[in-house]
Amino acid sequence: MSSSMNTVGRPTAPVATAGDIPPTLTGARGLLQDEALIFELGGWNKTGVDLPPAERPADDLAGLLRAEPIGLPGLSEPEAVRHYVRLSQKNHAIDLALYPLGSCTMKHNPRLNEKMARLAGFSDIHPLQPVSTVQGALALIDRLAHWLKTLTGMPAVAMTPKAGAHGELCGLLAIKAAHEAGGQGHRKTVLCPTSAHGTNPATAAFVGYSVVEIAQTDDGRVDLADLASKLGPDVAAIMVTNPNTCGLFERDIVEIARLTHEAGAYFYCDGANFNAIVGRVRPGDLGVDAMHINLHKTFSTPHGGGGPGAGPVVLSAALAPFAPAPWITHHADGFHLVEEAVGEATQAFGRMSAFHGQMGMFVRAYAYMRSHGADGLRQVAEDAVLNANYIKASLADVMSPAFPDGPCMHEALFDDSWLEGTGVTTLDFAKAMIDEGFHPMTMYFPLVVHGAMLIEPTETESKQELDRFVHALRLLAGAAKAGEVDRFKGAPFHAPLRRLDETLAARKPKLRWRAA
Amino acid sequence: MRYLPLTPDDRAQMLGVIGVDSIDALFVDVPASARREGFVELPHVAGELEVERELAGLAARNVAAGSVPFFCGAGAYRHHVPATVDHLIQRSEFLTSYTPYQPEIAQGTLQVLFEFQTQVAALTGMDVANASLYDGSTACAEAVMMTKRVTKRSRAVLSGGVHPHYVATTETLARAEGMDVVHLPAAVDAEDAVIAAIDAGTACVVVQTPNVFGTATDVTKIAEAAHAAGALLIVVTTEAVSLGLLKSPGEMGADIAVAEGQSIGNALNYGGPYVGLFACREKLVRQAPGRLCGETVDADGRRGFVLTLSTREQHIRRDKATSNICTNSGLCALAFSIHMSLLGEVGLRRLAALNHQRARELKAALEGVKGVEILTPRFFNEFAVKLTKPAARVVEDLAFKGVLGGVPFSRLAPGAGMDDVLLVAATETVTGEDIAAFQAALTEVMA
């Protein structure tokens, strides 16, 4: 067909090039455009927004007015569109290919959720307009809360934390308040496994607790004997991720909870990996007292290049009275919003942020949950775990699974022992994956595994995409073992940029543009 | 289920490769007591149409700000956002990427953050800014806690003009970190009163301009007093557009400027997600919370950007980190940055002037209403009025008449004894007809 379109008689067959491909004259590479900073592009007198002229400000602002130039360039609309579209093309994204960042749950983001969050009845309402005019918003938060409580088997949920780490903080503040109310304010220690996310010890320290690490067994779980020896009258809480950061279910979790409670401490569960068990296991049945849920992981609100997230925290009956303001109550005339910790609510530990949390994320998460339903969510967990085990099984003969015995949950963890003697490191291998079109897995985390490579495919990958990924990794593994070190050491070669000098960036921090 | 690509055949084949005979075999590590057969008690899978119907039904039970005369502010402001902004932030490569852990394939996000940091530093008049925090209130709390690290002192003094939710958030978080938070009584023209409260143990003074009552203040003298006592000055701004008209925190001597960035590029969203702006003096940056993007070069010497100074952060420092923060508010920061690039300095100044003009028009319309007294001496786009009736009831009555007529101060601070104070804001989205409708409705309600 194409030759019939060639009406001017030019030859249509491509000619193979011999030898090296010449670099382009401008530095651009076809569709991939270099793009200057807005400060180098924009006009100091240009604007892409048409606004009517305004009157001079009131005289009483004299002396308060901003006289000096601010230093903000403007772009016309077409220039702005080009700028940001060109920049966007330098990013990897889930919409482009598998994005197997372990512990981050990079799954498909349904566009229905975006559409719903933009309904004027959700996006164009003010957090302080009369409660009688936002009954639908409160109903949505209430329904989402019901789903979260039902899926976790927990009696209460604090909706306002704005991210996972913010949720951890909320949970630990509730625990601290509960201990103080119970005359146990002297408890100052939090126990965390060595495999914990960095946010766990950081949060515990924030709240004024000292952190003691719990050892791990050879099969990647909490060492019960070590835990038992460290639990005591000074321990306020344990923080355990389940499934843990090695991608394994804590087999002894019920016993962990029992020992913790017996010692008078609370069990904080990091819910970052809830995707592996949603609809199949309820954390409430495991003895958890508090757990944050990353709506941007399990419930697919977009990661947006690093936020915004949302981290509601489910709470046990013992901790529920200490939840922060605000919260919703049910009355005959509709929903009310309790915004101040007064009267019956005096045990609330305070407030996590202005207003009521991440409403825009609540709408997306609810649309996601409602779309799946109880049956779809159970399938989510099963397919997430199936996909991870399929990758583990498909790569076990060429890479080294950190915990080869037994199944993993939603992520497959490998160590770097299989790279020994090749001269290729985990970092090199990851950078070479970029050239093959995939985002690298999480590297060097968890810290308990040498040269860790943590692969989380999620349930929204097809078998074809998994096979494509496995094929690429097997080829790369083969190349590493065959001594093709250059392919790895210099990688990536085909990304918008080569490896970046992070040492230079830290030694001479250049954190903003300045006029030359 | 439309989001799940695996077919029953795929699943059977994959189980075969794994070498197990059922999915249950992959869940063997779950204790028997916690294994659940069957589904949790929730509705089952729903099609797009069904979900849309339910959510549209809930949305319809809310009164959208754009559908009525609308005058609410108090920390969240309704501005017009160009269509381009919302289109661009939905590009797959921005929407569905994550934290730029692999800079070679995240230069889009990283360059945006570098531009954002520069814009925020310019807007606040500070040396450097971070890549954003959750919102203005948490940025305020983080700033206060940072001053403890810098000064080794633990007392924070907050003016009576700081937004009560910011105060409550700061009290909750900074007290958990062992700080002593002193909050002065709420007052319309409150900022200068902090000077008398500064002592040798003061780590920081926190003032807000325009403050929660809308009062704009030159805080230069407060900066001098704080610095003379070895304390740092934190200036809070909840309406970022005001910085297009009013002197910046940096010009007035602030050490740290924090702001709510929602006003630029972001919708009201019933309170979130928003974007916290955080900027400071260069010498303080190693104690700053949150992510920082910096310029560097790649192996071929080409300019590029990376996350930097991460030895402050939780994933490296764990319990010694400057903050437990992991994410920023990336997509909201992108929306801010795109809107700011479209505005430019020219547009921002025009937008700010227009906001101020609308608020003056509103003041002129309301000051003639019986039972209404204007309290705020100097304002940007928001001011407080004193009513002869409880403000909460007035707002309910106005809503019944189809006007969202501001925020009663008692809603933010029930115990402040200011039940008769109403906060009203007017942005460029307010028309002359809106103001006339508000005036008429308020006249009826106050009669």
**Helices A199-206 and A164-181, interaxial angle, to 10°?**
40
Kindly report, residue by residue over A198-212, the tens digit of the pLDDT.
899 999 998 999 999
Instruction: Produce one character per residue of B156-181: b if its CB has 16 or more CB atoms within 10 Å, e if not.
Output: bbbbbbbbbbbbbbbbbbbbbbebeb
Name the residue facing A497 among B171, B176, B304 (closest C-beta): B304
**What is the rounded CA–CA span in Å between residue B443 and residue B447?**
6
Beta strands in A55-188 (DSSP E): 156-158
Residue A219 corresponds to which amino acid?
Answer: D
Q: Does B59 touch chain A (CB under 8 A)?
A: yes
Are residues A369 and A298 in contact, defined by beta-carbon separation less than 8 angstroms? Answer: no
pLDDT score at B122? 98
Which residue from A minimizes the CA distance to B219? A64
In 3D, which of A412, A499, A487 has the Cα closest to residue A453?
Answer: A412
Residue B310 corresponds to which amino acid?
Answer: S
Write the DSSP assignment of A159-181 as a string of letters. ----SHHHHHHHHHHHHHHHHHH
Q: Which of B96, B400, B428 to mutate to test the interface with A (most CBs of A within 10 A)?
A: B96
Judge: A353–B135 Cβ closer than 8 Å, yes or no: yes
Are residues B288 and B280 in contact, defined by beta-carbon separation less than 8 angstroms? Answer: yes
What residue spans of A251-332 are helical by DSSP H?
253-262
Are residues A365 and A295 in contact, defined by beta-carbon separation less than 8 angstroms? Answer: yes
Read off the tokens for B274: 């928003």
B244: DSSP letter: G
Confidence of residue B165 (pLDDT cuts 50, 70, 90): very high
**What is the rounded CA–CA span in Å between residue A138 and residue A127?**
11
Q: Residue B161 pLDDT more than 70?
A: yes
Q: Does B416 touch chain A (CB under 8 A)?
A: no
Cβ contacts of A439 on chain B, cutoff 8 Å: 102, 105
Backbone angles phi, psi at B291, to 5 degrees: -80, 150
Q: Which of B67, B154, B341 to mutate to test the interface with A (most CBs of A within 10 A)?
A: B341
Are residues A171 and A314 in contact, defined by beta-carbon separation less than 8 angstroms? Answer: no
Backbone angles phi, psi at A234, to 5 degrees: -95, -5
**What is the rounded CA–CA span in Å between residue B224 and residue B124?**
18
In 3D, which of B443, B305, B306 has the Cα closest to residue B366?
Answer: B443
Cβ under 8 Å to A: B residues 89-148: 89-109, 111-112, 114-115, 117-119, 121-123, 127-129, 131-132, 134-138
**What is the rounded CA–CA span in Å between residue B39 and residue B37?**
7
Q: Does B319 touch chain A (CB under 8 A)?
A: yes
Name the residue facing B268 among A125, A307, A379 (closest C-beta): A125
**What is the rounded CA–CA span in Å between residue B439 and residue A402?**
70
Cβ under 8 Å to A: B residues 1-40: 1-6, 10-11, 13-15, 17-20, 23, 25-31, 33-36, 39-40
The number of C-alpha atoms within 13 Å of B428 and in the hemisphere containing its C-beta is: 22
Kindly report, residue by residue over A95-141, the tens digit of the pLDDT.
999 999 999 999 999 999 999 999 999 999 999 999 999 999 999 99
Kindly report, residue by residue over A319-352, the tens digit of the pLDDT.
999 999 999 999 999 999 999 877 665 799 999 9
Are residues A75 and B347 in contact, defined by beta-carbon separation less than 8 angstroms? Answer: no
Q: Does B350 touch chain A (CB under 8 A)?
A: yes
In angstroms, what is the C-alpha Rg of chain B? 25
pTM of the predicted model over 0.95: yes
**What is the rounded CA–CA span in Å between residue B69 and residue B434?**
5
Three-class SS state of B278:
strand
Residue B85 corresponds to which amino acid?
Answer: V
Kindly report, residue by residue over B222-272, the tens digit of the pLDDT.
999 999 999 999 999 999 999 999 999 999 999 999 999 999 999 999 999
Backbone torsion region of residue A31, taken as left when φ is above 0, otherwise alpha when ψ lies between -120 and 50, otherwise beta: alpha
Kindly report, residue by residue over B173-220, the tens digit of the pLDDT.
999 989 999 999 999 998 999 999 999 999 999 999 999 999 999 999
Cβ contacts of A99 on chain B, cutoff 8 Å: 97-98
How far does B412 lie from chain A, in Å, by closest CA?
A: 8
The continuous run of DSSP H or E covering A122 comes out as helix A120-123
Which residue from B minimizes the CA distance to A361? B273
* ipTM of this complex prediction, to 2 decimal places: 0.97
> What average pLDDT does range B297-312 have in this prediction?
92
**What is the rounded CA–CA span in Å between residue B310 and residue B301?**
22
